[in-house]
Structure 1
Amino acid sequence: MHGEYKVPGGKLVTVDLSVADGLLAAVRVAGDFFIEPDEALDDIDAALRGLPATADAATLAAAIRAGLRPEAELLGFSPEAVAIAVRRALGVERSWRDHEWRILEPAPLPPTLHLALDEVLAREVGAGRRSPTLRFWEWERSCVIIGAFQSLRNEVDMAAAVRLDVEVVRRISGGGAMFVEPGTIITYSLYAPAELVAGMSFAESYAFLDDWVLEALRSLGLAASYKPLNDIVGPLGKIGGAAQKRLGSGAVLHHVTMAYDMDAQKMTQVLRIGREKLSDKGTTSAAKRVDPLRSQTGLPRAEIVTRMRETFVARHGGTPDEITAEEYAAAETLAREKFASRDWLERLP
């Protein structure tokens, strides 16, 4: 059996192996990577031989790490990369751990740049130039983000938006409008390879991609659950909503906004939204705040984000990363030429 894995931004790892009595045998790892000393490559092969062919990627990577001599240096690849190549050789169904996840937590950014980064990073993942990535957003200013297929005039009171200094932008995914002020919500995006949700319906993929969030919220004492098609809810109503875009490049963009402590009175001035629409968002009056995460957990926003990141890493792996200069440059161009343009904003007047 033969498997290959190209580390995004790194080297190619190949694995040839056979299976005897359900165990890995005749394992040979190769590739255009660097490893010192040479004998450390034999350590990797030896660590894999005899492991169950049903072992998941995390188990395989842990065995490799334990089997490597202390002075070994791996350049351009990692034990996780070898584990992924082994799983591909075995032809098993891909899971979260069959990818090397990266986690981004950049400084606050303007709305149009956030939206442009979503498109750029998703395309980079689809093209294999970036590992699958989780990005937490921080907002530089207040804004309304409408869905790709919403009518601008039906959703937003533009005069109120100008008066209250609220920027209005349109994203590439569908779904409803969101009102955002810095520090009042939690927003994140997943940029995943399409193979992670292969064979799933849209409805199934929404719940699948956000299951780790439910675990994080429940660990904080909030009885969170998923309400089809795309809502995260608690005992008192809606906490947040998800949206998704599947790109032709082979990537899935999945992003979620959850209310921490929003000013509902200001929101209803900008959004053309009735009180009945607010009734499933944790409040019964537009004069009150929409604060399901703050009131139901009693925790600062930063602690909730930290628990979410820790939960994701514990379940799926992930290492801190940075947005590259090239990605920022591409996003800045896209923000200027597309997301900041009136043609895009008013594509559905």
Structure 2
Amino acid sequence: MHGEYKVPGGKLVVVDLDVVDGAIANFRLAGDFFLEPDSALDAIDGAVNGLPADADAQHIAASIRAALPVDAVLLGFTPEAVATAVRRSIGNATTWRDYEWEILHPGPLSPAMHLALDQVLTDEVGAGRRGPLLRFWEWDRSAIVIGSFQSLRNEVDLDNAAKYGVEVVRRISGGGAMFMEAGTAITYSLYAPGDLVRGMSFAESYAYLDEWAITALRSLGIDAFYQPLNDITSPKGKIGGAAQKRLGGGAVLHHVTMSYDMDGAKMVEVLRIGREKLSDKGTTSAAKRVDPLRSQTGLPRAEIIERMTSTFTSLYGATAGEITSAEYQAAEELVASKFSTEEWLTRVP
């Protein structure tokens, strides 16, 4: 069995192994990481050989850590990264290049339609009727998108939202509220088979699925990095946040909203951002929490999206695609039956 795991911001970890009578055998670790002393490689191989094939990642990492020489130095990887590669090999995980990706970038759509398309396209990928997709969003109005489990009245100042004509909708994934106006945010969704993140923890999958975006931002001169659990940030401030949802067909919906040119003053009027959340981010002003991409690049929004598209294509291969009429129709039906209804919006009042 063969498994690979690219450590976000680090190196590639590659493992090969057999499973004999329920135990790991003939384990071999390789990769482009740095490891001292050389004997530590044999120590890691020995620690994994003989472990139960169903050992979880925590058990595998603990065994490796216990076997390492006291003077061992691991650069670009960790025992946990090796454990993830082992679980991915035994679970027959796939890699980005195992698929034929399509990139979708339709014109402006309503907030409810965007959320309905997320559900429809994830279902299509999970059912095998579509290959995996990357979709960039365009907005036709101002909106607040709250997480699936957030309280509407706790998160949104409905009076101010109405005053500014900001539509409020609820998505199917968890996480926090997002405020955006047309042209002020860069939002994308990934629709991927579950095998792509097999063997990873939720925390690992967040960083793994956004590493290409970090690479694209760095190519634009932004010192971007991932901050667990789900933030893309920089020394100058938070850039954006991610959310995920696993659907019944096994597919993963992973979407990210990054600020391009946020109106911070309006944001704090329409969102109820509490002191506890601000202190968690180490800031005292909600208006300063989100640092726009425009201020860090000086580039038009379209150029940043183009760089992200070209980076994704160069790393994983992709072609331009389109949303089908049947997919639009299915999404319109979901808008009417779910995403535009008061019942869905107020499911957590």
* Alignment TM-score > 0.5, same fold: yes
> Can you list the C-alpha shifts for 1:171-198, whole angstroms capped at 9, x where unaligned?
0000000001010010000000000001
- The residue that corresponds to 1:324 in the other structure is 324
Kindly provide the CA deviation profile for residues 68-92 of structure 1, in whole angstroms up to 9, marking residues without a partner as x.
xxxxxxxxxxxxxxxxxxxxxxx97
Distance 1:233 1:288, change over 3 A: closer
> Equivalent residue for 2:94?
94
Partner of 2:193: 193
Paired residue secondary structure (2:330): helix
Mapping of residues 149-298 of structure 1, within 5 Å:
149-274=149-274, 277=277, 285=285, 290-298=290-298
One-letter amino acid of the structure 2 residue matched with residue 243 of structure 1: A
Q: How far 1:101 sits from its partner (Å)?
A: 0.3
Q: Which residue identity does 2:263 align to in structure 1?
A: D
C-alpha displacement of 1:159: 1.0
Q: How many angstroms apart in 1 are the aligned matches of 2:274 and 2:310?
A: 37
Q: CA RMSD in A?
A: 2.0
Instruction: Give the Cα–Cα distance (whole angstroms) in 1 for the partners of residues 282 and 138 of structure 2.
Output: 23
Q: Distance in 2 between matches of 1:316 and 1:287?
A: 36
- Matched residues in 2 for 1:105 and 1:281: separation? 32
Task: Tell me which residue corresponds to 2:143.
Answer: 143
How far apart, CA to CA, are the structure 2 residues paired with 1:319 and 1:329? 23
Report the residue type matching 1:142 in the other structure.
S
- Whole-Å separation in 2 of the counterparts to 1:144 and 1:164: 11
Paired position in structure 2 for 1:315: 315
How many positions carry a matched residue from both structures?
A: 259
Cα pair distance change 1:192/1:287, threshold 3 Å? closer
**Per-residue CA shift, 1:139-177, capped at 9, x if unaligned?**
110010000000001000111111110000000000000
Q: Quote the residue 1:338 is aligned against.
A: 338
Letter matched to residue 251 of structure 2: A
Contact 2:267/2:287 (<8 A) preserved: no
Q: Secondary structure at the match of 2:107?
A: coil
The DSSP-based 3-state class of the residue aligned with 2:153 is helix
* Structure 2 CA distance for aligned equivalents of residues 148 and 291 of structure 1: 25
Segment of structure 1 superposing worse, 288-297 or 202-211: 288-297
Paired AA for residue 169 in structure 1: V
Instruction: From the superposition, tell whether residues 211 and 338 of structure 1 become closer, same or farther in structure 2 (CA, over 3 Å).
Output: same
Distance of aligned partners of 1:219 and 1:187 in 2 relative to their CA distance in 1, 3 Å threshold: same
Q: How far does residue 277 in structure 1 lie from its aligned partner after superposition?
A: 4.7
Q: Distance in 2 between matches of 1:332 and 1:274?
A: 35
SS at match of 1:125: helix
Q: Residue 278 and residue 292 in structure 1: after superposition, are their counterparts in 2 closer, same or farther (change >3 A)?
A: farther
How far is the alpha carbon of 1:250 from its aligned partner?
1.4
8 A Cα contact 1:261 1:294, kept in partner? yes
SS of residue paired to 2:338 = helix
| Contact 2:243/2:255, CA 8 A, preserved across alignment | yes
What is residue 133 of structure 1 aligned with on the other side? 133
- TM-score for the superposition, normalised by structure 1: 0.71
d(CA) in 1 for partners of 2:282, 2:331: 35
Greater CA deviation, 273-282 or 318-327? 273-282
Contact 1:260–1:294 (Cα < 8 Å) also in 2: yes
Give the Cα separation in 2 of the matches to 1:289 and 1:167: 22
Deviation of residue 290 (structure 1)? 4.3
Shift of 1:110: 0.2
Matches within 5 A, 1:110-121: 110-121=110-121
How far apart, in 2, do the equivalents of 1:152 and 1:159 lie?
12
Structure 2 segments unaligned to the other structure (5+ residues): 1-90
Map 1:76-95 to 2 at 5 A. Answer: 93-95=93-95
What amino acid maps onto 1:212 in structure 2? Answer: W
Q: Contact 2:237–2:290 (CA<8 Å) still a contact in 1?
A: no
- Aligned positions of 1:63-82 closer than 5 A: none
Q: Deviations over 1:310-332 (max 9, x none)?
A: 00000011100000000000000
Where does structure 1 lack aligned partners over 5 or more consecutive residues?
1-90
Contact 1:278 1:285 in 2 (8 A): yes
The separation in 1 between residues aligned to 2:93 and 2:307, in whole angstroms, is 28
Distance 1:175 1:109 in 2: 22
Q: Is the 8 A contact 2:273 2:286 kept in 1?
A: no
Deviations 1:265-304 (A, max 9, x none): 1111110114775688898645679443111111111111
Give the TM-score taking structure 2 as reference length: 0.71
The verdict on how the C-alpha distance between 1:203 and 1:290 changes in structure 2, with shifts beyond 3 A counting, is: closer
| Structure 1 pair 338–92 and aligned structure 2 pair: CA distance change class (3 A) | closer
Change (3 A) 1:130 1:282: farther
Report if aligned partners of 1:265, 1:288 keep a CA contact under 8 Å in 2. Answer: no
Whole-angstrom distance in 2 between the partners of 1:293 and 1:334: 33
Q: One-letter code of the match for 2:298? A: G
